[in-house]
């Protein structure tokens, strides 16, 4: 499969059902399907917030091939500039390996520059070797100095 007929664009509110569908697919892929709770209506609400959910959509031959869902926050400390946080990136299984992920990530970098962000951050499951290799190709650096802490509510 090649990237002919692939369109990369910024997500709009009407993409909420497809974003929801692909986030569900990601949750199942990550063996966390039982934790999936979001609805298209919740995605619409999140996309309506000023610093809420944003997205990038990849379409191939008129069909959604992948997404990146991200948000921004202010880095109040050293730089005073925004940080783009990549929450989810997912490419349909049959469309992986042909460059769509790279195209989405390049559009994410472009969006981050437009927002005057200082960096893009994301998490990756340790067992997901394919994702880790992809992120390294995109310039991602695993940061072993900072530990991630989570407080579930």
pTM: 0.89
pLDDT tens track for 52-78: 999 999 999 889 999 999 999 876 578
pLDDT score for 144:
83
Residues lower than pLDDT 50 in the chain: none
Which domains, ranges and CATH numbers included, belong to the chain?
6-137 (3.40.630.30)
* Sheet strands (E) in the chain: 6-10, 54-60, 63-74, 82-91, 117-122
Give the pLDDT of residue 1: 61
């Amino acid at each position: 499969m090649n990237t002919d007929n692939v369109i990369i664009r910024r997500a709009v509110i009407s993409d909420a059902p497809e974003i929801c569908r692909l986030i569900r697919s990601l949750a199942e892929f990550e063996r966390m399907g039982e934790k999936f709770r979001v609805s298209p209506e919740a995605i619409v609400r999140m996309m309506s917030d000023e610093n809420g959910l944003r997205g990038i959509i990849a379409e191939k031959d008129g069909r959604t091939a992948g997404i990146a869902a991200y948000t921004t926050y202010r880095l109040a400390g050293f730089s005073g500039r925004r940080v783009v946080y990549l929450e989810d990136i997912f490419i349909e299984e049959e469309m992986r390996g042909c460059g769509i992920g790279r195209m989405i990530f390049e559009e994410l970098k472009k969006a981050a520059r437009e927002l005057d962000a200082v960096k893009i951050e994301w998490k990756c499951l340790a067992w997901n070797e394919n994702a880790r290799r992809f992120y390294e190709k995109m310039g991602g650096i695993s940061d072993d100095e900072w530990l991630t802490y989570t407080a579930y509510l």
